[in-house]
Amino acid sequence: MTRQQSKELRDQVAALKAQGQAKHDVCVMLGITSNQWDHYSRTPEQVAARRVRRDVWHAKVPSVLASKVARFNRSVSPSQVVDAKAFEASVKECPACYLTGKAINLNDKGAYELVQDADHLRLVCAQAARCLESMTCDELIALCQDVANQRITKDAF
């Protein structure tokens, strides 16, 4: 449906509504559904109010990071709960993996995980998070140092 057709349908619905026609009768006459009647019978003020409500709702939708922090908080004891807003503020400035230093896209939920290291919640890229499934951060760092040392001595010969 073109904009012109949409405008004409809106005008027809408004005219029939002003004449006192019932919703069902208007739908039958124009061959539209009840939902279409609802859409086309809105006044400009109602459309603007709806847009404001939608914008407010979208502002309340939590970010991917906030959702991950909330999921983390549900899985830990009350003493380990993290303040989502404070954590989000601390990592939003320069989101990078705690272990590799790689930049992280906070809106890509598959790109990173949250990992608890001692008393801190850490942002870790997905690849490093898979390595951490069976060891702690310190164990992984020690293993990486051993691998690096082995490569250095092996390449020296």
pLDDT in tens, 51-66: 766 665 555 545 788 8
Regarding whether 94 and 41 lie in a shared domain, the answer is no
Regarding whether 30 and 87 lie in a shared domain, the answer is no
Q: What is the mean pLDDT of the chain?
A: 82
Q: Residue 81 and residue 75: Cα distance in Å, rounded?
A: 9
Q: Which domain holds residue 116?
A: 64-129
Extended beta strands in the chain, E state = 112-117, 120-125
Which residue, among 59, 58, 72, 77, has the nearest Cα to 112 in the 3D structure? 72
Q: 64 is written with which tokens?
A: 């991917």
- Give domain status of residue 156, yes or no: no
Q: 12 is written with which tokens?
A: 């027809």
Question: What is the distance, to the nearest Å, from the Cα of residue 11 to the centroid of all Cα atoms in its chain?
Answer: 38
- Give domain status of residue 150, yes or no: no
- Whole-number pLDDT of residue 93: 78
Number of domains in the chain: 2
- Whole-number pLDDT of residue 19: 92
Identify the weakest region by mean pLDDT among 34-38, 95-99, 118-122, 125-129. 118-122
Identify the weakest region by mean pLDDT among 1-15, 29-43, 54-68, 119-133. 54-68
